[in-house]
Structure 1
Amino acid sequence: MKTTNVFKSQKGKEDILKYYDFMVNQCSFSYERININTRYGNTHIIASGDKNNPLIILLHGSGMNSVMWIKDMEKYSKNYRVYAVDILGEPGRSAENQLPLKGDFYALWLKDVFNSLSIEKASLIGISLGAWLSVKFAVSYPENLDKLVLISPSGIGPQKASFLIKALFYKIFGEKGMDRLCYKVNGNS
């Protein structure tokens, strides 16, 4: 399995992780930071809420990390036990290696997270890549899923060459061309 690292430079990594820690330390609610080992590497999690409450797992999008969920966690943790999980290979505190999108790698990784946290069943909320991952997990492990919330799950997967050619054609015409493309795709402006 070929993997790639997310950070392009050591300085970039340091800056992102410094900001990550700054944002987490600004939380006005109680939380804990958990590190667990999975078959694909270390996974970092920000957790909050009563451990006896129903469970929610938050999965961020590509190019992001769990800090994006901080404001949501504050609200959700009043009624739920919330786990914001840094996805492997994204610019957070989990292992830096990106897993291949093809195959069951991400579903197996998330199953490892469930097992390490002794979670039998939880609701998943995912945005973009996190939504895609939530669907992969739901298909592979429906018995572990309570509810599924998908935010902008599109865009993960191979695109048809014919669409890419059309998109490039409309891009030539600037904003008006892109508006026309959006109309063709969505049926509205």
Structure 2
Amino acid sequence: MSAIYKSEAGAREIQRRYQEALRTWPVPAEHIRVPTRQGETFVIASGPEQAPPVLLLHGSGANTTMWRSDVTTWSRHFRVHAIDLIGEPGLSAPSRPPLDSDAYALWLDDVLEALAITSTAIVGISLGGWTALDYATRRPDRVTRLALLCPGGVGRTRSAWLFKAVLLRLFGRRGVRRSARTVAGLEDLQDESVLDDLMLTFAQFKPRTARLPVFSDDALRSLTLPMLVTVGDRDALFDSADTARRIRRCVPHATVRLLPGVGHAIFGQTDSILAFLRT
């Protein structure tokens, strides 16, 4: 049994549903399996092969389907590579090397080498945002610009959500559903299928328990590339006001957007990110 799933049957069901979603990817795409030092990594490449590259790094407990609503627009202008992070419920290896190491940067080195990419823009959300920041601080010559949504490793990690989630679980399925809405920031979500997929995943998937390492002020100050950072002021996982303050102080050239009434899940940023990537 894979260490990141609760059962083999659960792993098969999650991957079956993922494969179904991949068959309805909204634009023509190439499925690429890249060998790396952490095991095989799955990449979906969309858009003109000669267009400038953009890497997409999803959040924890997710996979490339997170980008379905964005890829049609972005792939008109870029060669978009949506990557399944290792150790997450996609088609990449279940490896979870220590976060407080250069392992993820070395892993991305392997991915970029296999894709013949020398430098690229990166769009990352949550854990993917942390991964993008980690790579940009270690490999500044390989990252041209960063668009980050609720990135980890900058603002303080919140813990109050955990106690609320535990209490809500005492109320059975209804409580679990409410807990998922609260933690992900999906209280106003109208499409219930998104919540259904989230509940299926976390019923069978074992999320990471280690806290994301926090970037030092010096590490953030080393970032000279163009940056767009978008956070929601109701994020249950990260202190978004703290994220905004640190980025504004340490990376004064960055554009920081603090969205009122928005939680950890941030939607509707396709056009604003495209405008930033094309600047």
Counterpart in the other structure of 1:126: 124
Partner of 1:149: 147
- Percent of paired sites with the same residue: 38
Q: Name the CA shift for 1:7/1:156 in 2 (closer, same or farther; >3 Å).
A: farther
Deviation at 1:156, TM superposition (A): 7.7
Please tell me the residue identity of whatever aligns with 1:108. Answer: L
Q: Does 1:109 align with 2:107?
A: yes
The unaligned stretches of length 5 or more in structure 1 are: 175-181
CA distance in 1, matches of 2:49, 2:74: 13
Task: State the Cα RMSD in Å.
Answer: 2.7
Match of 1:20 in 2: 18
Contact 1:122-1:145 at 8 Å conserved across structures: yes
SS at 1:97's partner residue?
Answer: coil
Give the conservation status (yes or no) of the 8 Å contact 1:88–1:99: no
Instruction: Give 3-state SS (helix, strand or coil) of 1:38's partner.
Output: coil
Q: Which has the higher strand share?
A: 1
Runs of at least 5 residues in structure 2 that lack an aligned partner in the other structure = 168-235, 243-259, 262-279
Q: Check conservation: 2:45, 2:81, Cα contact below 8 A.
A: yes
Instruction: Calculate the TM-score normalised by the size of structure 1.
Output: 0.80
Alpha carbons 2:26, 2:68 under 8 Å: kept:
no
* Native 8 Å contact 1:48 1:77 kept in 2: yes
2:84 corresponding residue in structure 1? 86
Matches within 5 A, 1:52-71: 52-71=50-69
Listed one character per residue, the Cα deviations across residues 55-75 of structure 1 (whole Å, up to 9, x for unaligned) are 100000011111111221121
Q: Does 1:139 align with 2:137?
A: yes
When normalised by structure 2's length, the TM-score is 0.56
> 1:27, 1:38 → 2: CA distance?
25
Aligned to 2:41: 43
The ranges of structure 1 where at least 4 consecutive aligned residues each deviate by more than 6 angstroms after the TM superposition are none
